[in-house]
Amino acid sequence: MSSSSSSSKPWGGRFAEPTSKIVERYTGSVRYDKALFEQDIAGSKAHARMLARQGVISEAEAVKIVGGLDIILSDIHEGRFVWKDELEDVHMNIEARLTEMIGDAGRKLHTGRSRNDQVCLDFRLFVSARLEAWSELLAGLVKVLVERAGEHAETILPGYTHLQPAQPVSLGHHLLAYAWMFKRDYERCQDALKRSAVSPLGAAALAGTTFPLDPKSVAEELGLYGTFGNSLDAVSDRDFALEALFVGSTVMTHLSRMCEEIIIWANPNFGYVALPDAFATGSSIMPQKKNPDVAELMRGKTGRVYGALMGLMTLMKGLPLAYNRDMQEDKEQFFDADRTVSDSLSIMAEMMQVMGFRPERMLQALKLGFLNATELADYLAAKGVPFREAHHVSGSAVAMAEKKGCGLEDLTLEELRTLSDKIEADVAEVLKYETAMKRRNTPGGTAPERVQEQRSALKYWLAGL
Ligand code: ARG
């Protein structure tokens, strides 16, 4: 039977039989949790310094520990560190190496600490750093959208409801709708940080410890907002990761909706965008194709992030207090979700920067979709025709234009007057798409001046970050 000696394990004291190899592989996490090495080392250094301040270990021992951990840190960075599967996880790998290097002082590092509070600290530091990174990427994307919206404040796009042509809107207005979503996502990241950037160190295994620890000073050294209020909660709470995954899922929802629009707009029947070559691919059999693969994959990858959120919720729902080994399964899903969220945000920002818009195709669609029909109805209503009747007249005008194969604006005044004698020469101005867009100048509306106002508000927000 393949096995490895259990006396080599940090917990080997009570074990006579070695661990079986398959169990070692099944329970081990080092192959993925080594991603936490920076957080693990930062946490251990802060813990060692605190132990010395509290007189639990000597100043000289703390110096040796910190020095040893710094060497390990650079060894890992430079690929010199040897990770051992039989040492189970990142924590035991680093501690074992430290002891190998500095002897007894290394063995004192874990005083007043358990892997239960240690892993939770590492993971909280990691998740918090990623929330900061997502925030930055979100702000970057908002910036790109604000810039592109500036170029297209006056570009007229068919606005849709039910994916049916509805009313003309400014393309800039449409782009800024997403900018506001990503701004809220930024704020969600920052809000989640208030709860994730909190130290659980000092909770030990579950009940606190007999050593005179000072958790507050550790939290301060690590730049965290505060410490736990209850040791059982501290070692078994993963809501910080759930919140981050919810925020990540919401980000992906917004990205995915944007992708869906890019995919629709890139279809030649719409043709509102010309995909930049760098963000599209061709077909191996159909020479005419230019496929929006990047947008499709981003829409698809959204499912992975939702999966991570559902996975962790399901993982947590039946766990009694306090730590349970099930919780080791929290990390891989988060790492995967983080890669997806981070890459998707960077790629979307790059893609939107170079996205080619085609205003001439938007104009064609405005005509085909009779997007000025509401204008005609409103025009008649303003002249005292009851709105229901005005709606009916405008509908008949649409039918007439459809039959002629033209837009409402192409009907002659005489033709229009057969439907209502309230229609006069001034209708021509009203039927212009540009007029329709400009007249919707209520706060937050699509008029170009309101689009510029939104851009100023968003720029002001960006400048204050
Ligand atoms: N690798 C473990 C995890 O990720 C560390 C904590 C293990 N604690 C324990 N009592 N076995 O959750």
pLDDT digits (tens, 9 = 90+) for 5-48: 565 677 777 888 888 899 999 999 999 999 999 999 999 999 99
Tokens 């240690």 -> residue: 118
* Cα 324 to averaged position of ligand 1 atoms, centre (Å): 8
Alpha helices in 152-292 (DSSP H): 171-196, 215-221, 231-236, 239-266
Residue 323 Cα to ligand 1 midpoint, Å, equals 8
Share of the chain above pLDDT 70, in %: 98
Taking only the tens place, the pLDDT of each residue in 154-197 is 999 999 999 999 999 999 999 999 999 999 999 999 999 999 99
125: Cα separation from own chain's centroid: 18
* Ligand 1 centroid to residue 118 C-alpha, Å: 9
Q: How far apart are CA 193 and CA 355, in angstroms?
A: 33
Contacts of 278 (CB under 8 A, 6+ apart): 354
Which of 83, 325, 332 best tests ligand 1's pocket when mutated (most atoms within 8 Å of CB)?
Answer: 325
Whether pLDDT at 1 is above 50: no
Mean pLDDT throughout 260-271? 97
- Angle subtended at Cα 461 by Cα 187 and Cα 463, rounded to the nearest 5 degrees: 120
The dihedral built from the CA positions of residue 220, 222, 228 and 232, taken in this order, carries a sign that is: negative
Beta bridge partners of 4: 19
Distance (Å) from CA 115 to ligand 1 centroid: 6
Which residues partner with 156 through β-bridges? Answer: 170
pLDDT digits (tens, 9 = 90+) for 420-433: 999 999 999 999 99
Instruction: Please state, as a whole number, how many other Cβ atoms lie within 10 Å of the Cβ of residue 256.
Output: 20
339-389, pLDDT tens digit by residue?
999 999 999 999 999 999 999 999 999 999 999 999 999 999 999 999 999
Distance CA 262, CA 275 (A): 9
Is residue 236 lining ligand 1, measured as CB closer than 6 Å? Answer: no
- 134 touches 345 (CB < 8 A): yes
- Pocket probe mutation, ligand 1, options 116, 122, 331, max atoms within 8 Å of Cβ: 116
328 C-beta closer than 6 A to ligand 1: yes
Q: Is the CB of 29 under 6 A from ligand 1?
A: yes
Of 115, 118, 126, 235, which is best to mutate to test ligand 1, by the most ligand atoms within 8 angstroms of its C-beta? 115
Q: What is the pLDDT of residues 349-359, one digit of tens each?
A: 999 999 999 99
Residue 196 beta carbon below 6 angstroms from any ligand 1 atom: no
Note the pLDDT of residue 2. 47
Diameter over CA atoms, the chain? 101
What is the per-residue pLDDT for 294? 96
Ligand 1 atom 3 nearest Cα: 328
- Cβ 327 under 6 angstroms from ligand 1: yes
Residue 57, pLDDT > 60, answer: yes
Atom of ligand 1 nearest to the CA of 327: 12
DSSP string, 402-419: HHHTS-GGGS-HHHHHTT
Q: What's the CA-to-centroid distance between 309 and ligand 1, angstroms? A: 21
Find the radius of gyration of the CA atoms of the chain.
31
Enumerate the active-site residues: 162, 283
DSSP 282-294: --SS-TT--B-HH
Q: What is the pLDDT of residues 240-255, one digit of tens each?
A: 999 999 999 999 999 9
pLDDT of residue 263 exceeding 50: yes
Report the alpha-carbon distance of residue 368 to residue 366 in Å, rounded.
6
199, β-bridge pairs: 227
User: How many C-alpha atoms does 465 have within 13 Å on its Cβ side?
Assistant: 18
Burial of residue 190 (CB within 10 Å: 0-12, 13-18, 19+) is middle
Helix, strand or coil, per DSSP, at residue 302: helix
Return d(Cα 171, Cα 155) in angstroms, integer.
Answer: 6
d(CA 274, CA 338) in angstroms, rounded, equals 30
By alpha-carbon position, which residue is closest to atom 12 of ligand 1?
Answer: 328
CB 234 within 8 A of CB 120: yes
What domains sit in the chain, N to C, each tagged with a CATH number?
21-107 (1.10.275.10), 115-143+171-358 (1.20.200.10), 370-456 (1.10.40.30)
As a whole number of angstroms, the distance between CA 266 and CA 161 comes to 19
Whether the CB of 47 sits within 6 Å of ligand 1: no
**What average pLDDT does the segment 226-230 reach?**
97
* Residue pair 206/261 in contact by the 8 Å Cβ criterion: no
Contact indicator for 198, 224 with CB cutoff of 8 Å:
yes
Q: What is the pTM of this model?
A: 0.94
* Strands 226-227 vs 198-199: parallel, antiparallel or unpaired: parallel
pLDDT class of 83 with cuts at 50, 70, 90 = very high
Q: Is 115 in the pocket of ligand 1 (CB under 6 A)?
A: yes
- Ligand 1 centroid to 80 CA: how many Å? 25
Q: Which helix (H) or strand (E) holds 4?
A: strand 3-4
Ligand 1 center to 197 CA (angstroms): 20
Q: Which of 349, 386, 374 is nearest to 446 (CA)?
A: 374
248 close to 134: Cβ distance less than 8 angstroms: yes
Pocket residue to mutate for ligand 1, from 328, 331, 334, 335, most atoms within 8 A of Cβ: 328
Does a cis peptide bond (omega within 30 degrees of 0) precede residue 322?
yes
Question: Closest Cα to atom 2, ligand 1: which residue?
Answer: 328
Tell the residue number behind the tokens 């007894």, with chain if given: 104
Provide mean pLDDT across the span 227-250.
98
Identify the helix (H) or strand (E) that includes residue 20: strand 19-20
Distance CA 27, CA 191 (A): 34
Q: What is the Å distance from ligand 1's center to 304 Cα?
A: 25
- The contacts of residue 458 (CB under 8 Å, 6+ apart) are 142, 146, 176, 179, 180, 183
Q: Does the C-beta of 116 come closer than 6 Å to ligand 1?
A: yes
